[in-house]
Structure 1
Amino acid sequence: MTLPAPRPAPTAPFGRALCAMITPFSPTGDSVDLAGAQKLADRLTADGGCEGLVLNGTTGESPTTTDAEKTALLRAVREALAPGIPVLAGVGSASTAHTVELAREAERAGADGLLVVTPYYSRPPQAAIEAHFRRVADAVSLPVMLYDIPGRTGVRIEYETMLRLAEHPRITAVKDCSYDLLTSARVIARTRLAYYSGSEELNLPLRAVGGTGYVSTVANVAPHALRAALDAFDAGEVAAATRHHQLALPLVQLMMASGLPGTVTTKALMGALGLPAGPVREPLQPAATEVVDGLLAAYAELMAQD
């Protein structure tokens, strides 16, 4: 039996290894620490751990930052990085008009692409979701990454909707938090969309079925540990990729699946490591001391083994 030719490696419009960067705040939490954000952005990208950054997303506490703060953060980070490092701006909201406004402002502020989440709370039907994404993509000249995270928005981007949206020339990628590997693999097989895992435990599985890479919260603290699995897989070293992936899972579990939002655990660990972070904004609350101790132990174990 003649096997079909292998599918070409997926294109990576924003690189493969992206960090969903936190938004550092001042010690009181009442302002964005722009200098700290620039320092963190440089640390994440300077030695190749992260190939790009996503700002003002869920991890970046977009629900509790003002539009002006979002723009200031984007401008500061864009100014701190070399032009070749892509910086995407999260511009999603529950309102199409507001999302378009945020998208246009992000383009003016120097974003290289946009992350647009499915409108949340109102649970729009698929036709309305498609119209929302098209309105945003038509309003700017930047490439758009769709953000499919039904656990937070209450509704997902269905398979047929994704196929239609893939026909838009500026809709180029998906951040996938659907936890539906079958549907994601089917879309990858049918479209040119670059699929980025938004769930660290699925980074390697998604890459194995044709995904491009990841947009990771855990990359704020362990960029090289996550990148190692991706690099090994792309080099054809599947056993090594699996090992790197498994080594990161204890920290991933504590940061992303322990009952606390990833923003809370990430800022807690970063603060304990002396990295720019600051507090979370309410309604989020800081992690307890025992949680921080557990995060530090898992982080130290990963750094010692990887």
Structure 2
Amino acid sequence: MFSMLDGLTGTKTPRPPQPGVWAPMPTFFLPDTEELGEPRMCTVLLRYVLTWKTNIPTFRRHMVSMAEKKMGIVVGGSMGEAHHCTPAERILLVQEARQALDAADMTDVPILAGTGMGSTKATIELTREAVNAGADAALVIASGYYAGAIAGDRKALKKFWMDVCEKSPIPVMIYNYPGASGGINLDSDVIEEIGREAPNSCGVKLTCGDVGKLTRICATVAVPSFAQLHPRDTQTPFLVLGGFADFLVPSVFARGHGAIMGLGNISPRVLVRCWELAQEALRDPTALEAAQQLQDLAARGDRTIALAGISGTKELLNRLYGYGGAPRRPLLPLSATEGQELWDHENVRALLNVEMELEAEAQRVHEKQ
């Protein structure tokens, strides 16, 4: 009998996450069943299901396209509707991501896999399974189910990430997203303490939108003395990443390391160019104006699209590329009217116009090579 473990790539060569801009991959479901695929036979460990009719090729195609455009890859994050996926589905997506990248000759591209679960034990177990599927680092959010009990318990919150870091065979990134964790919102002191005391921690994603917190953390972890006093198990500094596109350029000047943004699925060229120009502006101030112009577009577009949620991102993917589909219920797709309003919104049009210009420019460069 076929085993889902057959062909799992594992992680033989370390591929730690690096500074830059990252896109959390959406999960694409079959339209009639909301499944990743239709089951054919049960397999390994009473958990995994081999599938035949799937939307996995769409997932693989989109992810490779993002990686080709220099976006980092996150699988099983909030944009990927991880909370609405089974553990088996989440592992399958990591496996397919690694295989797709390897097949596209992008074996050096790391995969950051969302592995947060309800308990510390379940989170560690899923993280270990993700390693076997090809994950290079784990993005871990706290469960919000018992937020009433632990949101104000600094000791419990810190111990959660310390325990996961200790037991994880791959680096662990803290995912601070109050909107998806029952309001749990780590302060900068706790995040810095984890960074100092857990050598297997590799950074934090701040989807709290607190730019002051980002600046404070960078002031601690992004200076040379931090790395000297607190050496890491990972081959990368403790990364401080934003969770939106609206502070990308300023974060560079605060010593930030980039961002993980759902907008990356819609405008990867704009965000990569914005990041590159911001980096250049550190050395050459004349690049700052161009970086700010793209930052303005991204900030306005990000807010407009973020207000439409996962459904809005999938609606735009449908219109841009012919795939995206609907989210898994209870999330609902946008209505026809809502979808048209989003598509026609001046912030979206302005952003996509520049995205298309940069895409055409990239195609011209490619054709000359």
Q: Which TM-score applies when normalising by structure 2?
A: 0.75
With over 3 angstroms needed to count, the CA separation of the structure-2 counterparts of 1:126 and 1:233, relative to structure 1, is same
Instruction: Read off the aligned partner of 1:194 and give its amino acid letter.
Output: L
Question: Of 102, 110, 124, which residue of structure 2 is paired with 1:100?
Answer: 124
CA distance in 1, matches of 2:192, 2:353: 43
**Per-residue Cα deviation, 1:26-82 (whole angstroms, up to 9, x for no partner):** 12243222111110111111233x1x2111111100111111111111101111112
Q: Which residue of 1 aligns with 2:194?
A: 165
User: For 1:213-255, what per-residue CA distance to the aligned partner results, in whole angstroms no more than 9, with x for missing partners?
Assistant: 1101011111111122111111111111110011223321221
1:1-306 to structure 2, matched below 5 A, reads 13-32=17-36, 33-48=55-70, 50=71, 52-81=72-101, 82-123=106-147, 124=150, 125-153=153-181, 154-167=183-196, 168-192=198-222, 193-236=238-281, 237-257=287-307, 260-261=308-309, 263-298=310-345, 299-305=348-354
**Local SS of the residue matching 2:330:** coil
Look at both structures and tell me which one has the larger radius of gyration over its CA atoms.
2
Contact 1:113-1:142 within 8 A present in 2 as well: yes
Q: Superposition RMSD on alpha carbons, in Å?
A: 1.7
Give the TM-score, by structure 1 length.
0.89
Aligned to 1:5: none
1:14 Cα offset (Å):
2.8
Distance across 2 between alignment mates of 1:206 and 1:277: 30
Give the CA deviation at 1:160.
2.1
Q: Which amino acid in the other structure matches residue 194 of structure 2?
A: L
Aligned equivalents of 1:41, 1:113: Cα separation in 2 = 17
Secondary structure at 2:240's aligned position in 1? strand
Distance 1:27 1:274 in 2: 16
Q: 1-side partners of 2:121 and 2:298: how far apart?
A: 40
The share of aligned pairs that are identical, in percent, is: 26
Q: Structure 2: how far apart are the matches of 1:47 and 1:178?
A: 27
Distance in 2, matches of 1:248 and 1:187, equals 24
Please, which runs of 5 or more residues in structure 2 have no aligned partner? 1-15, 37-54, 223-237, 282-286, 356-369
Confirm or deny: 8 A CA contact 1:119 1:129 kept in the other structure: no
| Number of residue equivalences | 290
Q: Which structure has the higher relative contact order (CA within 8 Å, separation 6+)? A: 1
After superposition, give the CA deviation of every residue in 1:79-100 in whole Å (9 maximum; x if it has no partner).
Answer: 1112211111101123111111
8 A Cα contact 1:40 1:276, kept in partner = no
